[in-house]
């Protein structure tokens, strides 16, 4: 069962700065991920289908570009990358509201948190509500981004995202342990540990 595609077609258009369509960029070795939690519906998880793993769920996020690291330094570059990946993958645009992306201090969360920090993964919390529901397909110079579509959740709540071609749907999960387990195959299992640590839960 898939989320409803509200606007499936799009026009030829330009690429979002820093997106895959704008040309390959050097990677810095850092990754940024956003743990998004809706006030009523719970954790927001993105659905994807991979050749080897099949259907799985992911947190929004990805690689920090080397250019971002050179321009901003580690701390700010990782947050800039988190905002970039978030808007590219979901349409949730925090680029003018960076304060909403709250850094998670993994070093303060014991040995497992230290391991996450050493893996060069950086995590941010984002609390959202109904007012953050995406109303339109993200547009850029020349028109809509290729492959973008508005979609509603697999879990059927009244909320919309503008998904990229990377993702086939999304859902909300109220239970923290279930959300962590849902992303167990994403980023080598590190993101499962991150959700558990952020929620103060033990791995089982």
Strand order in the sheet with 149-151: 5-7, 149-151, 161-163
Sequence-distant contacts of 189-193: CB under 8 A, at least 24 apart = 190/116, 190/119, 190/121, 191/33, 191/58, 191/59, 191/121, 193/112, 193/115, 193/116
**Residue 21: per-residue pLDDT:** 38
Check residue 53 and give its pLDDT.
84
> How many Å separate Cα 80 from the centre of its chain?
13
For the chain, the structural domain boundaries read 19-131+173-199
What six digits make up the tokens of 24? 């390959």
Q: Which of 122, 58, 62 is nearest to 87 (CA)?
A: 62
35 in Cβ contact with 125 (< 8 Å): yes
Mean pLDDT taken over the chain: 85
* CATH number of 19-131+173-199, picked from 3.40.50.300, 3.90.79.10, 3.30.2320.30, 3.90.380.10: 3.90.79.10
Question: Looking at residue 43, what is its pLDDT?
Answer: 98
Between CA 23 and CA 179 the distance in angstroms is 33
pLDDT band at residue 69 using 50, 70 and 90 as cut-offs:
very high
pLDDT at position 25: 62
pLDDT at site 15: 33
Q: pLDDT per residue over 79-114, tens digit each?
A: 999 999 999 999 999 999 999 999 999 999 999 999
CB 31 within 8 A of CB 187: yes
The answer to whether 41 and 174 have CB atoms below 8 angstroms apart is yes
Q: What is the pLDDT of residues 19-51, one digit of tens each?
A: 333 334 688 899 999 999 999 999 999 999 988
How many Cβ atoms are within 10 Å of 48's Cβ, its own excluded?
Answer: 18
Greatest CA separation for the chain: 49
User: What is the tens place of the pLDDT at every residue in 146-192?
Assistant: 678 899 999 999 999 999 999 999 999 999 999 999 999 999 999 99
The Cα–Cα gap between 199 and 204 comes to: 14
């Amino acid at each position: 069962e898939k989320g409803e595609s509200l606007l499936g077609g799009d026009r030829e258009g330009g690429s979002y700065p820093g997106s895959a369509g704008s040309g390959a960029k050097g990677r810095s070795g850092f990754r940024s991920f956003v743990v998004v939690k809706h006030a009523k519906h719970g954790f927001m998880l993105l659905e994807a289908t991979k050749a080897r793993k099949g259907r799985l769920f992911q947190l929004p996020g990805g690689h920090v570009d080397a250019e971002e690291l050179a321009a901003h330094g580690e701390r700010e570059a990782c947050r800039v990358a988190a905002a970039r990946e978030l808007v590219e993958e979901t349409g949730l645009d925090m680029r003018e509201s960076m304060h909403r992306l709250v850094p998670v201090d993994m070093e303060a969360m014991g040995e497992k948190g230290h391991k996450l920090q050493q893996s060069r993964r950086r995590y941010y919390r984002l609390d959202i509500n109904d007012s953050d529901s995406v109303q339109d397909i993200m547009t850029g110079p020349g028109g809509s981004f290729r492959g973008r579509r508005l979609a509603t959740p697999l879990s059927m709540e009244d909320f919309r995202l503008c998904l990229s071609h990377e993702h086939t749907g999304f859902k909300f999960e109220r239970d923290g342990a279930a959300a962590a387990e849902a992303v167990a195959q994403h980023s080598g299992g590190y993101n499962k540990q991150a959700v558990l640590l952020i929620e103060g839960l033990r791995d089982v």
